[in-house]
Structure formats: C-alpha cells, structure tokens
Structure 1
Amino acid sequence: MTDINALTRLCAPPGTPISIRWEPVEAALAMALPTDYKLLADTYGPGRFNDYLAVFHPHGVTEYVNLTGPMPARIRGQLREQARRGLIPVPHDPDTLFAIGSTDNGEYLFWVTDPADDPDHWRVAVNEARGPGWYTFDGNLTAFLTTVLSGQTRVPLFPRGLTDRTPGFTPSQPVLVKPQPFQDQPPIDTAALRAWARANGYDVPLRGRVPAHIRAAWEEAHKA
C-alpha cells in the first residue's frame, strides 16, 4: 500500500482529485518536488487536516499557505538569522529547510531538502512555535500525516488532543478579502489568548482556530 492510499483510507479526501501542472510549479521553485507530495496535493487540494495542520499548496488561497508564495523564503530567512545570532538552536542547516506547512498554534513543517537532488528521500521537520524544540520525522510528508493523524506518531510539539476525533480534512474556502500584510499580523500566544477568553466569559474551543471576534476582543484589550 502506498503512502497516499494509507492516508486516504484514514482520512477521506474532499472529492474529485484536481490536476496540477507541476512543471511551472517546480520551475518557479527551482527544484523538483517529492512524488508523494504531488499525489497529496492532487488528491486533497488546499486545506487543513483536523482543523490544525495546513499543508502549503500551489493553489493555496492566501500567501500564508501558498507553496510558491513568499512564506518559505521568509521563514528560511528567520531561521538563518536565529542560527547566526545563536538565539534558537536549529538542528538542520537553514538552507536545507523548506517550509511546507503550518499549524494553528504557530509551528511550521519543513522538508529537510538533503540530498537536494533526491526529493523522494527528504525528511520532515517541525519547529516549536514559541521555543527551541524541534522534531524530525524519518519519512516523507504523506507518511508523516498518516502516522500523526492515526496516533502512531506522537509529536511532542503538537497538542495531546489532536487525534481525539476521527481524522478529517477541511478544504480551503476562497478568500474574497485581501489579507493584511504579513508584518501587520504578529503571532499571538494562542494559549494565553484562550486563557484570557475563558476568564472573560467567552466560549472558546480547546483547539482549532480561535474565532475572529474573540481575537479582536483580545487585541482591543491589549492595545498599548
């Protein structure tokens, strides 16, 4: 059984597979892509697994989740700076790390693109959102998703309740309003936000996206 078959048996795709023209995508990135990722992107399209894990996609609906958008380069630049200044240990050469996904809590998923000319043997790495922790998975992205969503692999950086429900995939919806610039939306400590919301009488989910009105109230309450 291939990795994509194992994943689709565990987590049903949203519908008819889409057809992506991979030649211009790879040309734009100036690198070949793993075979498993192409099957994953064709099968599921853009979206999120368990309302927590978003995989970057050539048809990503915003720059934050678009494979050929600016996020991979921005994140790599941040890692280079962290490594140069010794702020946070980076266990892999930042030049080998290519951001391929993100989580609701602010972690990033990376391909470890070594060897550069053999993408089907790239591993997956995850960094801690607000700390020095890293986790490396010795396998491809599709196998990583399958073992994480099935509970076979426990990523210490992810919430314990991630696999409490049946694995699911939610397709992305088109974005009709242009998002604010990246630098105007600094990351928020979602744990602190949820604690504040509960203390102030808001009904906030334990995981998944924090509703926009709660985040707006948090930002209003914490204006300088």
Structure 2
Amino acid sequence: MLTATGRQDQRLTLPWGPVESALRTSLPEDYKRMCEAFGYGTFSGAYYLTSIGAEESGDILSDWQVYLRSVPEPGSEGADTSQYAPYPIYRPGREGLIPWGGGEAGDEMFWLADSNPPHSWPTLVRNSDFGPGEWSRFDMPVSEFMGRALLDPDFGFFGLAEAVPTPFFTPED
C-alpha cells in the first residue's frame, strides 16, 4: 500500500501496550503495522484507520469507549433495535465489535473480536445508508480490505479504484 499511495514508511513507534491492556486483547499485527507505516490520515479521500493519539474520532481506544457508552449492552433495553444489532460492542472477555476505521460517507469498520487469534477476526462494515442489522462481512485482515478497497475495481460497494484510479494518502496532523 505504501507503493500504491506513493508514501514513505513513517516507521512510527506507537504505544500499543496501554491500548491492548485496556481492551484486554491484542490487536491484529497487520493493522498495527499499517498505523505505524502511515500514521493517522485518509486513504484516497475516503477511508481512515483509527490509530493511537489521533484527534477527535480516530483514536482507537477513544472510539471504542464512545461506542461502549452509546450502544446498549446485549439484553438491555434497545439492544435488539440498535443499528449495530445483532452484534454487541466488544467488552473484554466477550465477542463484539472493535472499531478500526471509517469513511467520509458514513462507513464504519469493525473487527468482530472473539476468542480466536486477532489475525483471524473478520471485518464487518456498515454504511450510514444501511438499515439496522445490515452488514457486509469480509473474511480478511485490515491490510487486505484496504488494499482491495483502493486497488481492486471489482471490490463492489466499498471499492474506490474506479472513482480514484491513483490511490493516495493524506496525513492528518
């Protein structure tokens, strides 16, 4: 992806320990590597990865905590009608959604974290145009999802290759 976007590897050293400690799980290595290589910013003016220390929305731990506060827990009032149903937001020790990215068009990207190794967690994506319970599932790591979204003209609804034939990355300060 660095080559495709014309970027140099930033080789950032990010403090993953406190984030993974708060989540009580490791995060997928390919995701961490992308955050360290690119820093926080937007791919092709459309998609971003959450990271560490990003302002406002974009910090993975802050974003996860916002979801925890705003989305009803399973079994509580409103949980069945939540726009995230049938999936709960991740809570340590339980299966659930951990946000890893988003899009300018209202896309929300999550892992469905469970007891399996983090590299095997599927990516679940919803768009603001989707109704409650409507999801797209991708059984691939973040790096493959982002690579295909940027480069594969046959990637479907979330593909950008036709609209943005030369992918780019814009860092956010």
* TM above 0.5: yes
Taking a change above 3 Å as real, the CA distance of residues 136 and 54 of structure 1, as seen in their structure-2 partners, is: same
- Aligned partner of 2:81 in structure 1 is 86
Preserved contact between residue 100 and residue 111 of structure 1 (Cα < 8 Å): yes
Taking a change above 3 Å as real, the CA distance of residues 12 and 135 of structure 1, as seen in their structure-2 partners, is: same
Preserved contact between residue 101 and residue 108 of structure 1 (Cα < 8 Å): yes
User: Unaligned stretches of 5+ in structure 2?
Assistant: 91-95
- Aligned partner of 2:58 in structure 1 is 65
User: Unaligned stretches of 5+ in structure 1?
Assistant: 1-6, 174-224
Preserved contact between residue 71 and residue 82 of structure 2 (Cα < 8 Å): no
Q: Which has the higher helix share?
A: 1
Partner SS, residue 165 of structure 2: coil
Q: Counterpart amino acid of 1:31?
A: T
Alignment of 1:129-168 (within 5 A): 129-132=128-131, 133-152=134-153, 154-156=155-157, 158=158, 163-168=163-168
Preserved contact between residue 135 and residue 155 of structure 1 (Cα < 8 Å): no
**What is the CA–CA distance in structure 2 between the aligned matches of 1:82 and 1:128, rounded to whole Å?**
24
Displacement, 1:94?
3.8
Tell me which structure has the larger Cα radius of gyration.
1
What percentage of aligned pairs have identical amino acids?
22
Q: Counterpart amino acid of 1:140?
A: P
TM-score normalized by structure 2? 0.79
**What is the CA–CA distance in structure 1 between the aligned matches of 2:77 and 2:125, rounded to whole Å?**
16
Preserved contact between residue 45 and residue 59 of structure 1 (Cα < 8 Å): no
Displacement, 1:65?
0.6
Displacement, 1:26?
1.6
Displacement, 1:10?
2.3
- Runs ≥4 in structure 1, deviation > 3 angstroms? 79-83, 91-95, 158-163
Alignment of 1:33-52 (within 5 A): 33-52=27-46
TM-score normalized by structure 1? 0.63
- Aligned partner of 1:191 in structure 2 is none
Q: Counterpart amino acid of 2:106?
A: G
**What is the CA–CA distance in structure 2 between the aligned matches of 1:106 and 1:93, rounded to whole Å?**
19
**What is the CA–CA distance in structure 1 between the aligned matches of 2:21 and 2:172, rounded to whole Å?**
25
Preserved contact between residue 82 and residue 88 of structure 1 (Cα < 8 Å): no
Structural RMSD (CA): 2.6
**What is the CA–CA distance in structure 2 between the aligned matches of 1:118 and 1:162, rounded to whole Å?**
34
